[in-house]
Structure 1
Amino acid sequence: MKGQEWYQEDDIAEAYDDKRFSGGGRYIDRREKEAVLDALAPVDGKRILEVACGTGRFTVMLAERGADIVGMDISEAMLEQGRAKARAAGVEETLSFLQGDAGRLPFPDNHFDAVFAMRFFHLAPDPEGFIKEMRRVTKDQIFFDTFKRYSARSIYNWALPMGSRLYSTREAKELVVGADLELADAAHDFIVPYGFYRAVPRWLARPFRMADTTIGRTTAGDRLASVSYWDARIPE
């Protein structure tokens, strides 16, 4: 099954958060939210678009912090999960969820202060086209993540039920430059890949995450990391 077809299945949406962010997966959730907040802060009053918002983990988090945010996704089943999160958090009136195609964003040029996409580019069939469309609708910032080609991620990538694209550092930087953006910052993490953390209980994941973080602070950490976070800006 192709990535987009797999992603839009109802049962995938219903189990998405529990499968990925419970147990040891909580370390993934925590780090990804930290990365988004660090890149986009301050968010209060900022107009933000989340592309491929999925179940609304980040959309709701940013709405709670005062962002004027739209979450867009191709999967209506995922958006329903996001709307339920927004109702539970009491922010359903302060954000919008929209079904749409990331290749044709239904917004005018320079409409947002920032656009971001997490867990998107590994499934993107046209990453160059998508990032150029994201650039079109922002007047300042694009933030996104990629899975690294030369890392432990590649060991189990073949076993995933959907297609998954891995990027070398050079390829990710070429995406940024090809969209006429400048790389403002980059961070790399998770020497032990996501799949391990999702598969083990939290108590077992904890010492691995501590070791992972310690190694990540060394010069070898960036080279061994399986995930990269990219903060790109429109040149002045």
Structure 2
Amino acid sequence: MKGQEWYQADAVAEAYEDKRFSRGGRLIDRREKEAVLEALSPFEDRRILEIACGTGRFTVMLAERNAEIIGLDISRPMLQQGREKAQHAGVTDRLEFMRGDAGRLPFPDDYFDAVFAMRFFHLADTPEAFLREMARVSKDVVFFDTFNAGSARSIYNWALPMGSRLYGDPEVRSLVDDVALDLEAESHDFIIPYGLYRKMPDWMADGLRDLDRSAVSSPVGEQMASVSYWTARTSE
């Protein structure tokens, strides 16, 4: 998988959220959290697994909503950031962080009500293997996001430190079918690249986001979206 060593550096973990979700990046954080909440609701007494949980942005959020959640990541520094966040939020009794490999999940079949991964599949060298494991341990919902080949990201992807795996719509649908999941819902967002938002002050990013939302709601805009959110269910 791309970036394994990079994500395990202490300095990267410590600066991760400030670098990505401050200034205009807070709009990205808000939209991603909305997508997770919509896909995984209801939460109370549900057992949920987050793959590549990083610093616990979503893990802690769901624990605060009374989910029983495990966050799995390969990076010890990232997990430590998550543990500190959970302790500060007072949710350590409903949350566990584990270091592990998303390609070999240490759980039995159908162990979770829902399994999700955010900011993960663009790093995956074998996406089908990861999605198959997610489907295996979930008895209901599987949720994930992808970066899209038809978006502006494809123009500058080569210049990113690790690049990204970019997906076309047919490839995602084929992946979902291949692991025997049923695609239930999809949504597409952010014509304007994430990197541009992060460089903007709040007031400028807010105005641009309004324009972005209007543009992406059109059929042409949807095809140009940078990111897609996919909600699938295990086949009965």
The TM-score by the shorter chain falls in which range? over 0.9
d(CA) in 2 for partners of 1:124, 1:219: 28
d(CA) in 2 for partners of 1:159, 1:195: 12
d(CA) in 2 for partners of 1:220, 1:162: 29
| TM-fit CA distance, 1:9 | 1.4
| TM-fit CA distance, 1:112 | 0.2
d(CA) in 1 for partners of 2:114, 2:220: 31
Listed as ranges, the matches of 1:1-236 within 5 Å are 2-236=2-236
d(CA) in 2 for partners of 1:3, 1:174: 25
| TM-fit CA distance, 1:6 | 1.4
| TM-fit CA distance, 1:35 | 0.1
d(CA) in 1 for partners of 2:175, 2:163: 19
Q: Scaled by the length of structure 2, what TM-score is found?
A: 0.97
| TM-fit CA distance, 1:159 | 1.4
Q: Say whether the 8 Å CA contact 1:6–1:162 is kept in structure 2.
A: no
d(CA) in 1 for partners of 2:197, 2:70: 29
Matched AA of 1:35: A
Question: How high is the sequence identity, in percent, across the aligned residues?
Answer: 65
Q: Say whether the 8 Å CA contact 1:3–1:163 is kept in structure 2.
A: no
| TM-fit CA distance, 1:147 | 0.2
Listed as ranges, the gaps of 5+ residues in structure 2 are: none
Q: Say whether the 8 Å CA contact 1:151–1:226 is kept in structure 2.
A: yes
SS in 2 for 1:45: coil
d(CA) in 1 for partners of 2:216, 2:24: 18
Q: Say whether the 8 Å CA contact 1:51–1:115 is kept in structure 2.
A: yes
Listed as ranges, the gaps of 5+ residues in structure 1 are: none
d(CA) in 2 for partners of 1:165, 1:185: 22
Count of aligned residue pairs for this structure pair: 236
SS in 2 for 1:185: strand
d(CA) in 2 for partners of 1:224, 1:150: 6
